Amino acid sequence: MTPAYRLLDIVHATALARAERRLQREFTILFDANTIHRYLHDSYAQIGARAAVQLYLPLLAERFARQQLHARAKVEGRIEHTKPVVLFLCAFNAGRSQMALGFFEHYAQDRALAWSGGAEPSGALNAAAVAAMAEVGIDISHEFPKTWTDEIILAADIIITMGCEDSCPLIPGVRHEDWVVDDPAGLPVAEVRPIRDDIDQRVIELLASLDLAVTS
Q: Residue 193 to residues 64, 158, 188: CA-CA distances in angstroms? A: 28, 25, 9
H/E segment holding residue 53:
none
Q: Which of 16, 47, 71, 90 is catalytic?
A: 90
Question: Pick from 87, 215, 110: which is nearest to 162 by CA?
Answer: 87
Catalytic residue among 164, 187, 199, 207: 164
> CB–CB of 138/66 below 8 Å?
no
- Amino acid letter for position 55: L
To the query of whether residue 168 is one of the catalytic residues in this protein, the response is yes
Considering the candidates 128, 132, 168, 203, report the single residue annotated as catalytic: 168
CB-CB contact of 93 with 145 (8 Å): yes
Residues serving a catalytic function are 90, 164, 168
